[in-house]
Each structure stands twice: as structure tokens, then as C-alpha cells.
Structure 1
Amino acid sequence: MEATKKIPSSPRPSLSRRILAGKRACPFESSSNCLKKLFKREISARGNRAFNCTNAQEKFHNFQLREEFDTYDPKGNWFLQLNFLKKRSKIVEIVAAKEIVFALAQSGVCAAFSRDTNRKICYLNISPDEVIRSLFYNKNNDSLITVSVYASDNFSTLKCRTTPIQYIRRGQPDAGFSLFESESLKWPGFVEFDDVNGKVLTYSAQDGIYKVFDLKNYTFLYSIPDEHVSEIKISPGIMLLIYERAPGHVPLKILSIEDGTVLKDFRHLLHRNKKVDFIEQFNEKLLVKQDNENLQILDVRNSQLTEVSRTEFMTPSAFIFLYENQLFLTFRNRTVVVWNFRGELVTSFEDHLLWHPDCNTNNIYITSDQDLIISYCKSHPHECTDEGRVGSINISNILTGKCLAKICASDPNVKVSPRGRINSSSVHSTVREALEDITALFYDEEKNEIYSGNRYGRVHVWSS
């Protein structure tokens, strides 16, 4: 799901994260709508949707709790000098690739587990004072990128390292090499990995320069001086440069992501005395929202402006853009809704009340076809309190809002059912315990397995 990931260099992990769900890049000049493609097929779009719903229901039918992994190992953590690394902490990120599940704890400890043997392979921390902040699987060269900070540097500078999956499988996490060593990624610097365009964006506050690298081989492509640039947003094929606000307007530039060529230089008018809630770019569409004002959707090609009433569209806490479907999801007060770029509400979900009020995007997964959303939700939507409650993993159709499947502790069909291999790790948790306070979620589409992590540092495997 994660098409771009921005990792700031603050000493503590960022609570906000922009997630763009995309499968392939679209050119700036044109946009392809896969819904229109469906209508062009001989079979009707309604028939396709019905088939996909049925297929999804069968895919998630009879999911059981199969395995349990534990990132906490006091014996395995003997080499870590920092006391907080030795303590049990919640899972904040899960990534799976090539039969390996990577689980990152909030403490900064990251463990790799094999789905072949169902055993822990190794820890990815290769230095006694290393705190891993985030993970990124680079499918271009089959490697895992870790972004870390170090106690020796007062946790102030991001350091990136790439390690081929084959070496991690052999238990050799130190066989990788450092990335972007020439860049000083101290606060407020950052690194952003863009899977859609195959690019990496770095910002060195010390030098005052943004740089773009190739994600395939990490070669430097071009730089952008940060003179008056307040933020950069990445979209398929393009980058939006948002400059410091001027009286009555905000200067904007759209650049080609490939070579930094300026495609459009323009201004967007603003209400003078009202703060900007957000400015977002989606292909040729610019979304602008100011405090207590209507949402503006501007087509930058022809300057056509669409407005959505402030009573209909209230400022969300997060976005997920669906490039294949030309739609976007908004998250607000535990609810998810789907909009199109005509400003119309497309979908409201019937049973998808998110467990976490702050929209923790690590608890949300969008499939690569962008037809399903998998989230950690309230198992009973009418429950308003979190205390003493156990959530559920809900799988819903994005286009219809229907709840297609649900992993719920109250379902008698959901049981602890280890695969029974000789080397299989025992499952110590009950189904109810495994569904309590889930803090990270990942769906492996190839294996059809859901991985959930909880506040105790344990990872649970759900599959049919």
C-alpha cells in the first residue's frame, strides 16, 4: 500500500504520515480511470464487482490464528547497550517480503522472522546504540532499507542502510551498505521513499537543498534549492512545490519528477486571514482547504475550479489517494469515506469504525488493486469506549462500502490453529488476546496472510 513514506529526522517518530496508495505511475498530462475500463469490458462493471466481492469473501473465509512471533528476547538483546531497547514495547510497523516478516518495535528494535521455518532469523540492529525508526522494502532490487538514529549522535541524524533480502535470510544483517552518506539529515531534514515513481527525496536543512535519487540504484539525479519552499508533495510523475505563503496567495510550482523540469508555475488565491488546513496534489488536481472554508479542487491544466461545501467536507486527519481508481479516502473521527475529484461522496462504510482515533496508518492496508481496505476496527461499532475492549480486523470493499469479512473474537469459527510443523512456533495467545490493542497491520497479498502486531511486541499470523 505504501507508495510514499516520509521520515522526518526528529528525535521521536512522527505521528503524521502521508500514505499514497498506488501501483503504477500516471503521466501528468493524462489520467486513466480503471472504472471506465471496467465499463468497456463485455461483462458489466456490476458483474465484475459482484465477482470481486465473492472472490474476496472466499479469500478471507475461515481465517485462523496460525502463528505467533515475539520481537522481545532478553537473551537475544544482550548486545544492545541502551536500556530501553531491552524492554518489551509495542509493534509500530510490519513489512513482509520473500517469506520474511519484519517487525519493528517502538523501542527501535527490529526482528526478522522466517515464514519457512517460523523462527526468528535475526535482529536488524547492527550497532549497540542503533534505534531503527522505519522500514522500507525496495522491490526494485529486493532489499530492505532501514532508517535509524543513534545514541552517539543524540538521536538527531537519520542514517539509511540497504540490505539485500538474501543476506537477511542468511542471518547477516550487517552485509548491507549505507545510503546517502553525503547528506546531512539532521532535524528538520527528512528522507522520503517514493515507490510509485521509483525515487527518493532527501532534505538537508544544513545545506538548504532537496535532492532526488533513483530508487533502483540510489544514484543522484538532481537537486532543488529550498529558497522559500515550505513543503514538497509527490504525485505520479510530478512534484508540487509549495512556497511560503504571501499576502492573499500561495506560490506553487509543478515539476517533472524525472528531471526537475518546471511544468507549471502559478499562484493560488487564499483568504488573507485564514490558516491553510492542507494543500494536496493528485495528478492534475490540486486540493486546497482553509479553516472554515469550502474545499477547493482545482484542475491545474485548465484552471477549472470545483468547490465542496465546508459542511459536507470537513478537514480530515489523513488522506489515502487511490491512483488506479481516481478516488481518495479521508479519515476523520475513526470514520473512512471515499470521494471522487468532482467533489462527490462515493462510499461510506457500513461496518468500518476504526479503533484508533488518531488514524494510525500502520493499522490500515489498501490492496494493490485498490479494491479492499483492511483495518483494525471496533468489533461492535456502537461501543464508544476503548477500555477493556477487543477490536476486530475488518476487510471492506472500497467501491461499495460492504464489509466482506471480519476476524472477530466473538466469532466461534475463529480459533487458534497452528499448522503443526515440526519447527512451528507455539501460539501462546488466545484469539481474544491477539485481537487486543493491535498497533500494526500488514497483508501479504501473495501468501494471503494478515500479520498483526500488538503492544506487547508480538506478531500474529492470520490465514485460512
Structure 2
Amino acid sequence: MIEGRRISAANPRPCSGRRIVATKRSRPRHDSILNSVKKLQRREISSKRDRSFNITNAQERFRNMHLTEEYDTHDPKGHCSVVLPFLMKRTKVIEILAAHGIVFALAHSGVCAAFSRETNQRICFLNVSPDEVIRSLFHNKNNDSLITVSVYASDNFSSLKCRSTRIEYIRRGKPDAGFALFESETLKWPGFVEFDDVNGKVLTYSAHDSIYKVFDLKNYTMLYSISDKNVQEIKISPGIMLLIFNRAASHVALKILSIEDGTLLKAFNHLLHRNKKVEFIEQFNEKLLVKQENENLQILDVRNAELMEVNRSEFMTPSAFIFLYETQLFLTFRNRTVAVWNFHGELVTSFEDHLLWHPDCNTNNIYITTDQDLIISYCKAESDDQWIEGNARSINISNILTGKCLAKINATNGGPKDDKSSSKTASSRQSHSAIRSTVAEALEDITALFYDEERNEIYTGNRHGLVHVWSN
């Protein structure tokens, strides 16, 4: 399901936008998260040819999901001779990834653990240096490797360092068998590295010389560079990059480049209202979305300069977006609610029974399937249109096109099933993995969520550093 990713060392981690920005601080902060708007604006959902997904099958797939395993990212004895005291502390899970039967869980402290779904044991920690603080993870499907982005105490946590490790090596308990990436780049604040799964590219920015570089995600070969100190921002969508230049009084200069070779496809100025703050500029294929403070949403077709406006009373500025490249739609997040829009500025879907638990639209707790037909979120739990309790939580699975809630996991249905076979299975698994949490406890304070589409399992992490497996 994921996408382009830009990650920042100036904050503990982003989630959905995979851009990682280097810090300007002497040591990392562990008490804040990257602005959720930036995180969601960068999320780009990968596509798949066959999107047909039967709703009945989806309901059946999630109907009997219940708590089956529990893993712990915290090692009270320490996984290595750490020199950083905060690595020894129990902290919340901030990111979960899964591939080929291995679950990767990154804790807020910077410790990352890998667990085997076959043995239900911790395989290893991914921190290969005692002063390494891992900031984020990226699964490179092109070469079946895991990319870790880290900062180090020996460097005053000021520079981002990337490492690629084959997942097979991690399975063998050899996280140190990887190799460094982008060693020629100086990724100090406000420099960054962004992983773009849709186009198979990596974008880096070295702030000291104001040079952007594009690398091939398959073999990490540098393809081309962009050197222009007037570039304020770069945004990536399928096949193209949008360069946003420093704003003039009445317009903003924009350029569209080919993501493959950096060829200039179009250069133009977009008129702006003077003295009005630009709330966002987003590119989606040939559509440019521009919104200024207290103004209508503008949707510009860059091919023919056709301009469409959506009344500001109909389209309230969202706190975040997710673009669905397969369905030519986009999601907006505002006040814990989710809505689906098309590029005619029309509301397509409003979701029922899908009030997000976290107010900041944290994409750690949202997963969109590869077919882009389902959204899995951590929500406030409802029953018969009434709140069960003021603090009741649930994991909701909803259809993106209809807004219908297809299934949910809550404290009522998330435990062992009544029938003998499933009860026996759940009982044996619980005994095997020594699950300490009740279903209600596992659903409390979920801080990360991931759905493994191959295994049909949901993984959640909480503030105690525990990872829970929900399976049928």
C-alpha cells in the first residue's frame, strides 16, 4: 500500500510520507511527531492491475479476526552494549512493517525488533551499532530488502544514514549483513531522503549545496540532479515531479519534470491572491490542487489550463490527504473524519461508523489495501449507533467507494471464538505466545497498525511497546 516516503530526523519519524529530514538539533527529540499533514501529503499508494474485490469476501476475510499473538519490542537486559540510556527504556511502537512472515516493529526510542510469524520468536534487533537510533523503515520490494534510516550519537544525531539489508539476512539473524546507501550525500538538516515506491525512485536533498538528486530504487544508481536554490518544495506523483518555487507577490512559479530523467515537461506561473496564505499545493497526475486561506479550492488541469473552483464552504481545508492513484480519487482527513473526493471537486463518499481515534490523522493507525478498496483504521468503537463507552476503541475495516463498515475488531468480538476448534486454536496459541494482554488492553492506545495482505493478519503496536497479532 505504501508509496513515497520522506522521513525527518528533526522529529522521531513520519509515517506515510516517506521523507526523512535531517535534524538541526544536537540530539533527537523523542516527544513529538512529524507534522501529520506532511506525512499524509506524501503518502502515495501503489497500484495493482486487478482491483475487483468482492465485498462479501472482504467481510468474510475480517469477520473472525481475533487476538492470537503478542510480541514485546522491549528487552530489559538490552540487545547489545548500548551507550544511549533512552534505548533501554520501554517506549511506544511507532511503526510496523511486515514482509515474508517477518514483522518489524520500531519503537519510539529508536530500537527496532524483527519477529518471526513462523516461530513467534524475536529474531533479532536491527540496531547494529550501540549508538544507532533508527528513525524509520522502508520495504524495498524491488530487491526484497529493508532500508533503515538512522542517526547516530557519534554524529550528534545530525545526519541521516541509510542502510539496505536483504530480508533473508534478517531472517537468519544477521542484520549487520547489509550495506550503506547514499554515502556521498550529506543529509544534515534541512536535508532529507524520500523513498518513492510508485515510481521506483529515491529523492535526496543535500542542504549545504542545495542539490536534489534522484536515484533508482532498484540499484541505487544516481539518475540526475537538480540544483536551484529557489526551489521551495518538490512533490512527487506517478511519472512526474512538481517543483514549487519561492512565492512571488501575486503568483508562484511551478515546473513539472519527468521523474525518469528530469526532462522539463511544463513551466508556468499560477496566479495567487495577494496577502493570502497558501494552505496547500498538490499535484495529482495532470491535476493541480491549490488552496489559499479563506478562498475556494482551485483544481487546474495543467494540460489545457482549465480551471475549476470548489466553494470553500463545500471543501473545507483538510488536515491531510491520501491520493488513490488506482481509482483517481483522493481521501481527506478533517476532525477525525474521512471523506472521498474526485477531481471534479465532488464528494464521493462519507464514511459511516469511522470516527478516527487519533485527532492528528496519524497514518501509523491507517492502512489502505493495495487494491485501494479498503481502509483499515483505529477508531472510536460504536454499537447500535451509541457509544459503548467513552473510551471504547475498535479496528474498523471500511469500503472506500461506499463508505460502508464491513467489519470491526472490538473488545466484544476480538477474543477467542465460541466454537470448539477456534477456541482450542486460540487457547493453544495464547499458551504458546504467553499473551499477557486482554483484548481490551490490546485495543487500548494503539500507536501503530499494519495489515499483511499476504497472510491476512493485522498487526498493532501500543504505548507499552507490545505488538499484537489479529488473525482468523
Give the alignment's TM-score, normalised by structure 2. Answer: 0.90
Q: How does 1:121-136 map to 2 (within 5 A)?
A: 121-136=123-138
Shift of 1:61: 1.3
**Are the counterparts in 2 of residues 2 and 19 from structure 1 also a CA contact under 8 Å?**
no
Residue equivalent to 1:225: 227
- 1:104-146 C-alpha deviation (Å, 9 max, x unpaired): 0010000000011000000000111110000000000000000
Counterparts of 1:354-433 in structure 2 under 5 Å?
A: 354-380=356-382, 389-411=391-413, 418=426, 420=428, 424-433=432-441
**Partners of 2:66 and 2:414 within 8 A in 1:** no
User: 1:384 and 1:157, CA in 2 relative to 1: closer, same or farther beyond 3 A?
Assistant: farther
Separation of aligned partners in 1, 2:438 and 2:105: 20
| SS of residue matched to 2:299 | strand
Alpha carbons of structure 1 residues 69 and 186: separation in structure 2 relative to 1, 3 Å? same
The answer on 1:137 being equivalent to 2:150 is no
> After the TM superposition, which of the residue ranges 5-14 and 394-403 deviates more from structure 2?
5-14
449, 453, 457: which one pairs with 1:449?
457
Q: Relative to structure 1, is the Cα distance of residues 162 and 421 closer, same or farther in structure 2, using a 3 angstrom cutoff?
A: same
- Residue 180, structure 1, aligned to residue 200, structure 2: no
Partner of 1:250: 252
The one-letter code of the counterpart of 2:62 is F
1:423–1:411 distance in 2 versus 1, CA, 3 Å: closer
Counterpart CA distance in 2 for 1:208 and 1:422 is 54
Shift of 1:306: 1.0
Q: Is contact 2:47–2:370 with CA below 8 Å preserved after alignment?
A: no
Aligned equivalents of 2:415 and 2:73: distance in 1? 28
- Any residues of structure 2 matched to 1:84-233 within 5 Å, and which? 84-233=86-235
Separation (CA, whole Å) in 2 of partners of 1:385 and 1:291: 38
Q: 1:274 aligns with which of 273, 276, 290?
A: 276
Name the residue aligned to 2:46. Answer: 23
Q: Which amino acid aligns with 1:327?
A: L
Could you tell me how far apart the structure 1 residues matched to 2:213 and 2:351 are?
A: 40
Distance 2:269 2:414 in 1: 58
Deviates more, 1:1-10 or 1:350-359: 1-10
CA drift of 1:227 comes to 2.1
- Deviations 1:241-293, CA, capped at 9 Å, x for gaps: 00000110000000000000000000100001100000000000000000010
> What SS is found at the alignment partner of 1:395?
strand
Question: Relative to structure 1, is the Cα distance of residues 366 and 422 closer, same or farther in structure 2, using a 3 angstrom cutoff?
Answer: closer
Task: Identify the residue that residue 28 of structure 1 maps to in structure 2.
Answer: none
Q: Aligned residues, how many?
A: 442
Whether 1:313 aligns to 2:324 is no
Paired with 1:247 and 1:384, the residues of 2 have a C-alpha distance of 50
- Counterpart in the other structure of 1:302: 304
Which is worse superposed, 4-13 or 325-334? 4-13
Per-residue deviation, 1:358 = 0.4
Amino acid aligned to 1:401:
G
Q: CA deviation at 1:64?
A: 1.0
Distance in 2 separating the partners of 1:423 and 1:455: 23
- In 2: Cα distance, 1:148 partner to 1:423 partner: 36
Moved more, 10-19 or 248-257: 10-19
1:238/1:255 contact within 8 Å kept:
yes
Q: Measured at CA, do residues 389 and 383 of structure 1 come closer, stay the same or move farther in structure 2, by a change above 3 Å? A: farther
Give per-residue Cα distances to partners, 1:191-249, cap 9 Å, x unaligned: 00000000000000012100000000000000001320000000000000000001100
1:419 Cα offset (Å): 7.0
Aligned to 1:14: 34
Are 2:66 and 2:413, in contact at CA under 8 Å, matched by a contact in 1? Answer: no
**How many angstroms does 1:317 deviate by?**
1.1
Q: For residues 383 and 19 of structure 1, what CA distance do their matches in structure 2 show?
A: 35
How far apart are 1:423 and its partner, in Å? 9.6
Which ranges of structure 1 fall in alignment gaps of 5 or more residues? 26-33, 39-47
* Identical-pair percentage: 73
- 2-side partners of 1:121 and 1:294: how far apart? 53
In the other structure, the counterpart of 2:82 is 80
Whole-Å separation in 1 of the counterparts to 2:241 and 2:431: 48
Aligned twin of 2:70: 68
1:19, CA displacement in angstroms?
A: 4.1
Instruction: Provide closer, same or farther for how the CA distance between residues 329 and 406 of structure 1 changes in structure 2, counting only shifts above 3 A.
Output: same
Q: CA RMSD in A?
A: 2.1
Whether 1:259 aligns to 2:266 is no
Q: Which digits, 9 at most, give the CA deviation of each residue in 1:14-60, with x for residues without a partner?
A: 233134343349xxxxxxxx9xx99xxxxxxxxx7xx7211100110
Query: C-alpha distance in 2, partners of 1:333/1:204?
Result: 36
Deviates more, 1:212-221 or 1:2-11: 2-11
Q: Which moved more, 1:218-227 or 1:101-110?
A: 218-227
In 1, Cα distance between equivalents of 2:210 and 2:415: 57
**Cα contact 2:151–2:159 (8 A) shared by 1:** yes
Distance apart, 1:5 and its partner CA: 0.7
- Check conservation: 2:162, 2:182, Cα contact below 8 A: yes
The Cα offsets for residues 286-312 of structure 1, whole Å up to 9 and x where unpaired, read as 000000100000000001111111111
Distance 1:62 1:252, change over 3 A: same
The one-letter amino acid of 2:380's match is K
The 1-side partners of 2:468 and 2:250 are apart by 52
CA contact 1:418–1:424 (8 Å) conserved in 2 = no
Structure 1 residue runs of 4 or more that deviate by more than 4 Å after TM superposition: 381-386, 412-417
Structure 2 residue aligned with 1:52:
54
Contact 1:201 1:213 in 2 (8 A): yes
* Residue 104 to residue 412, structure 1, CA distance change in 2 (3 Å): closer
| Secondary structure at the counterpart of residue 268 of structure 2 | strand
Amino acid at match of 1:23: S
Deviation of residue 77 (structure 1)? 3.0
Residues 232, 242 of structure 1: 8 Å contact kept: yes
Q: Which moved more, 1:52-61 or 1:88-97?
A: 52-61
Alpha-carbon shift at residue 384 of structure 1 (Å): 9.2
Aligned to 1:45: none
Q: Normalising by structure 1, what TM-score?
A: 0.91
User: For 1:330-380, what per-residue CA distance to the aligned partner results, in whole angstroms no more than 9, with x for missing partners?
Assistant: 001100000000000000001110000001011000000000000000013
Code of the residue aligned with 1:375 in structure 2: it is S
**Closer, same or farther: CA 445–412 of 1 in aligned 2, 3 Å:** closer
Query: Does the CA-based 8 Å contact 1:118-1:423 persist in structure 2?
Result: no
8 Å Cα contact 2:253/2:270 also seen in 1: yes
User: Residues 176 and 23 of structure 1: is their aligned pair in 2 closer, same or farther, counting only changes over 3 Å?
Assistant: same
- Paired amino acid for 2:221: T
- Contact 1:100/1:112 (<8 A) preserved: yes
Paired residue secondary structure (1:429): coil
Please report how far the alpha carbon of residue 189 of structure 1 lies from its aligned counterpart in structure 2 after TM superposition.
0.4
- 1:60 match: secondary structure: helix
